[in-house]
């Protein structure tokens, strides 16, 4: 079944993150976790040439996607985003998300996370990296071998996330 707009976006974001790390020669391994967190901060990324046109919109605009201090971009695609539903949604039912109007879905609305800081603090990203290092390394090495649908299946099978997530929200 073809991917919906939210699923395609999720695949694109993870592919971009992995390509960015590869281009910088930053391997996904424990001793690089601190370097990766720093490398993926909005402050650092906004100074660099984006790896995709999609990223160019996010990182070379004046405005951050999430208005929080020390914004970190590694977990751009939140593991709690309900991408199976084209209009999206939050598996944690966060009060910080909301539906907004859009032209990219057939229902003309989409779940918007811009007021939510979940997943975007340096501490969260460090925990996310250490909790999912093996899965992330696997995805980094294999997602580009598949078409969008195959890459999405890999992503879902990997089950990225951290167990204590409710306490971080
Ligand atoms: S960023 Fe926040 S609102 Fe969006 S899916 Fe994640 S936890 Fe829910």
List the chain pLDDT tens, one digit each, 169 residues.
799 989 999 999 999 999 999 999 999 999 999 999 999 999 998 888 877 777 776 666 667 888 889 999 999 999 999 999 999 999 999 999 999 999 988 899 999 998 999 899 999 999 999 999 999 999 999 999 999 999 999 999 999 987 654 444 4
**Residue 51 contacts residue 40 (beta carbons within 8 Å):** no
Which atom of ligand 1 is least distant from the CA of 89? 5
Q: Is 136 in the pocket of ligand 1 (CB under 6 A)?
A: no
For position 167, what pLDDT does the model report?
42
Q: Is 71 in the pocket of ligand 1 (CB under 6 A)?
A: no
So where are the chain's domains?
5-167
Find the 167 Cα to ligand 1 centroid distance in Å.
Answer: 13
Nearest CA to ligand 1 atom 5: 81
Q: Is 124 in the pocket of ligand 1 (CB under 6 A)?
A: no
Confirm whether pTM is higher than 0.95.
no
Torsion angles phi and psi, residue 119, rounded to 5: 85, 0
Q: Is 117 in the pocket of ligand 1 (CB under 6 A)?
A: no
Q: Residue 103 in 3-state DSSP?
A: coil
For position 77, what pLDDT does the model report?
93
Report the Cα 94 to chain-centroid distance in Å: 17
Find the 119 Cα to ligand 1 centroid distance in Å.
Answer: 8
Fill in the DSSP letter of residue 134. H
**Dihedral sign (CA 122, 159, 56, 90):** negative
């Amino acid at each position: 079944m073809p991917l919906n707009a939210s699923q395609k976006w999720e695949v694109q974001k993870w592919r971009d993150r992995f390509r960015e790390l590869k281009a910088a020669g930053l391997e996904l391994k424990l001793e690089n976790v601190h370097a990766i967190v720093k490398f993926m901060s909005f402050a650092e990324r906004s100074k660099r040439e984006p790896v995709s046109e999609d990223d160019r919109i996010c990182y070379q605009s004046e405005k951050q996607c999430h208005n929080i201090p020390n914004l970190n971009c590694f977990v751009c695609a939140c593991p709690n985003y309900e991408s199976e539903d084209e209009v999206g949604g939050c598996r944690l039912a966060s009060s910080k998300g909301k539906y907004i109007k859009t032209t990219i879905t057939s229902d003309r609305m989409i779940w918007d996370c811009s007021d939510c800081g979940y997943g975007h603090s340096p501490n969260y990203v460090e925990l996310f990296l250490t909790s999912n290092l093996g899965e992330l390394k696997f995805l980094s090495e294999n997602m580009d071998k598949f078409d969008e649908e195959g890459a999405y299946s890999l992503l879902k099978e990997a089950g990225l996330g951290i167990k204590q997530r409710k306490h971080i929200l």
